[in-house]
Amino acid sequence: MELDINAIKNAELWLNSSVSEEIKAEIKKLRTENPAEFNDAFYKKLSFGTGGLRGIMGIGTNRMNSIVVSQSTQGFANYILQQYKDLEEIKVAVSFDSRNNSKEFSEIVAKVFAANGMKVYLFKDIHPTPLLSFAVRELKCQAGVMLTASHNPKEYNGYKAYWNDGGQLVPPHDEDVIKEVDKITDISQVKIQQDMNNITVLDETFDEIYYKSIENISLATAHLETFKNIRIAYTPLHGTGYKMVPKALANWGFKNVICEPDQSIPDGNFPTCKSPNPEERIALERVLKLAEDNKCDIVLATDPDADREALCVRNAEGEMVLLNGNQTATLLTYYILLRHKELMRLKGKEFVIKTVVTSELIKKIADHYGVKCYDVLTGFKWIAEKVLSLEGKEKYIGGGEESYGYMPSDTVRDKDAVATCCLLAEMAAWAKQQGQTLYDVLLDIYRKYGYYQESLLSVVRKGKTGAEEIEKMMSDFRSNPPEEILGQKVVTIKDYQKKISVDLLTNQTSNLELPESNVLQWFLKDGSKISVRPSGTEPKIKFYFGVRSDFYAGDDFKQLQEKSLDKIEKIRQELGLN
C-alpha cells in the first residue's frame, strides 16, 4: 500500500521532535511493516473537539496516546492561565475510569497542569465521571479533566474537559480551547514535571462528601419498608460504578443489592461483554440471568464511567424489559414532579430540562404539574449551561436526554448514574409499596398523557464522500421539507441552524432561543416528531422518531407498541431511509 503524504508529514514531525527514541522506533517499524495502519494513525491529527478528545489508543497523531494527551493538556492549560491570569491560585481536578491507560493518562494530565503552576486534585483510583464534575464544584476549581471514552469499545479512550461550573465546555470556551490546543505542535512546547509536587490525591474520604451531598435528592420522607425488601441486581460492566453505586444504594437503605460478580471487577478489556454499553440488552445478559436466579424486582446497569444508567423492569408477564432512555427519563420526571407536589415543594419557580430530541412526553407531564420544561441542544453540557444561566432565579429539579443519561440534582453538572440509580431504586420501592411495578407506573403514565414510542436510526456514511452525502441530505431536507408524512400534515418545522420555527398552519415564524446547530425537526398534526442531525463525533447522520397514540384502559399495550413501531418503519420508508 502507498503511504499517505499527510501521514508521512505528520510522522516526520514526531521523528524530528524530542519524543523518545523508543517511540521513534515504533513509528519507523509501523511505516515499514503496516502501511495501512501507519496511514490511519498519522493521516490527520486527533481532533480536540468541543467535548475534548476521543479515539483509538496507539501510536500516531490520530490516536489517543501520551503525546497527544500531554499536548492537548498544555493547550488547555494555556487557555486556563489566560482566563484566570489575575487569580492567585488556579485549581483543577483530574479523574479517570477503568479503561486501559486511563490512569497513566490522568497522571500525565496532572503533571502538565502542575508544571504550569496550578494546584491539582487527582483522584487516587478510578472514579465515575459525575465525581469529577462534583469535585470541580466542591473544591472550587477553575477546570477539570476526566479520562474516559464512556461506553465505546475497549480500543478507545478519551478526554473530557470541564469548566468552573462543573459542566463540560460550552461557547466561547470550547472553541477558544481548541484554538490553544491547535497551537501546540511539538512535544517540546509541553511543560511537565516528573514528581507529585502541587498534586493533592483525593481518596475515599472525598467520596463521603459526595454521598452526603446526594442524600437530599431522595423524595421519600423516610426509608420505606420496601427499601429493605426490594431486590436489585446491578452490574457496573467492569467500570467505575463497581464500588460507589452499591455503597450509595446501601446509604439510601437498599440492603438487598446483588452485584454481578465477574463484571464487578474493573477491567479495561471488558472481557465479559462485547461492548460495555448498557443501552444494548446483549451487554446485560449476565445481570439479567442473575436477576432471574434471585427473583429481583429491577436491574440497574452503568457504563464504564458511570454517567449513564440502564433500568430493566418486569412487565405484566413477569419478564425483564430493558427500558429505553426516554422511558427512564419519563418515569423519573413523573416521580419527581408527583412527589414534589405531594410534599408541597412546588413553589412556582421549579423547572426540568430535556434535549430537543428527547420525548415530548416529558414536557406533557411538566405542563400537567405547572412546571417549566426547557428544551436544550443535544448533550449534557447544554443542560449544565441552562442550569447555570438560571442559578438563583429558578430551581432545577431534574433533567435528562434519550441516550440513558439523567441529572437528578444540580450538585453535579453532568449525567450522574450513581445518584440516578439511587433515585430509580427509590422509585421502584415507592411503586412496590402501592402494589405496582415500574412497568405498571409507565403504563399509567401512557394512559394519562398518551403513548409515545421513540426510535433512533443512524445512517453511516464514511470518508470524504460520506461527509459530502450527509451534507447534501441535510441541504435537501432543508430546501425541500416534506409537507406531509403518512398522510399527516407537517404543522411545524424547527431549523436550529437558521434558529427559526415555522408554524405551517399560520405561516408565522418565530425565533429559536438556542445556539446555532445543524438540526432539523418536523412536527406532525398527530403529535409525532422527526428530528434529523449529523453526529458531531462519528461519520453518521441520526434520525430520531417519536410517534404518539392514545392509550386507553383495556387496550392491548403490546399491539399498540407493535403498531407504533410499524408506523415508524413506514415513516422511514417514506423518507427513503432503508
- The reply to whether 188 and 335 lie within a common domain is no
Do 117 and 165 belong to one domain? yes
Give the burial string for 284-312 (b: 16+ CB within 10 Å, else e): bebbbebbeeeebbbbbbbbbbbbbbbbb
Q: Does 127 reside within a domain?
A: yes
pLDDT tens string 234-280: 999 999 999 999 999 999 999 999 999 999 999 999 999 988 999 99
Q: Which residues contact 559 (CB under 8 A, 6 or more apart)?
A: none
Give how many domains the chain has, as a whole number: 3
C-alpha cell at 140: 472550587
The last residue of a domain, from among 395, 416, 449: 449
Residue 9: CB atoms within 10 Å: 12
What pTM, to 2 d.p., does this model score? Answer: 0.95
Q: State the Cα–Cα distance between residues 119 and 198, nearest whole angstrom.
A: 5
Q: Which of 178, 207, 236 is the last residue of a domain?
A: 207
Does 371 lie in the same domain as 250? yes
What CATH number did the domain enclosing 465 receive?
Answer: 3.30.310
User: Residue 226: which pLDDT band, with cuts at 50, 70 and 90?
Assistant: confident
In-domain check, residue 56:
no
Q: Is residue 175 part of a domain?
A: yes
The identity of residue 164, as a single letter, is N
* Same domain (yes/no): 353, 430: yes
Residues 357 and 479 in one domain: no
d(CA 414, CA 350): 19
Same domain as 265, residue 173: no
Whole-number Å distance between alpha carbons of 258 and 234? 6
Are 295 and 417 in the same domain? yes
Residue 61: CA atoms inside 13 Å, Cβ hemisphere, count?
Answer: 21
pLDDT digits (tens, 9 = 90+) for 100-109: 999 999 999 9
Are 450 and 527 contacting, i.e. CB atoms less than 8 angstroms apart?
yes
Query: Could you tell me if 508 and 372 lie in one domain?
Result: no
What's the pLDDT tens digit per position in 389-442? Answer: 999 999 999 999 999 999 999 999 999 999 999 999 999 999 999 999 999 999
Say whether both 436 and 527 belong to one domain.
Answer: no
- Phi/psi for 285 (5° steps) reads -55, -45
pLDDT tens digits, 494-542: 999 999 999 999 999 999 999 999 999 999 999 999 999 998 666 789 9
User: CA–CA separation, 358 vs 573, rounded Å?
Assistant: 22
DSSP-assigned states of every residue in 245-260: HHHHHHHTT---EEE-
Residues sharing a CB contact under 8 Å with residue 560, sequence separation 6 or more, in sequence order = 451, 549, 551
Q: Determine the structural domain holding residue 256 and report its residue range.
A: 214-449
For residues 188 and 203, state if they share a domain: yes
Q: What CATH number should be reported for the domain holding residue 302? A: 3.40.120.10
Are 160 and 268 found together in one domain?
Answer: no
Task: Establish if 17 belongs to a structural domain.
Answer: no
Does a structural domain hold residue 253? yes
pLDDT at 537: 63
Active site (catalytic) residues: 150
Residue 43 domain-assigned? no
- Give 195's Cβ-side CA count (13 Å radius): 2
My answer on whether 98 and 190 are in the same domain is yes
Residue 27 counted as domain residue: no
The b-or-e profile of 45-69 (16+ CB within 10 A means b, else e) is bbebebbbbbbbbebbbbbbbbbbb
With respect to residue 38, please indicate whether it lies within any of the assigned structural domains: no
Per DSSP (E only), the strands in 356-482 are: 372-376, 395-401, 405-407, 451-460
Domain boundary among 449, 479, 498: 449
**Span 456-492, pLDDT tens digits:** 999 888 776 788 889 999 999 999 999 999 999 999 9
All cell numbers assigned to 549:
397514540
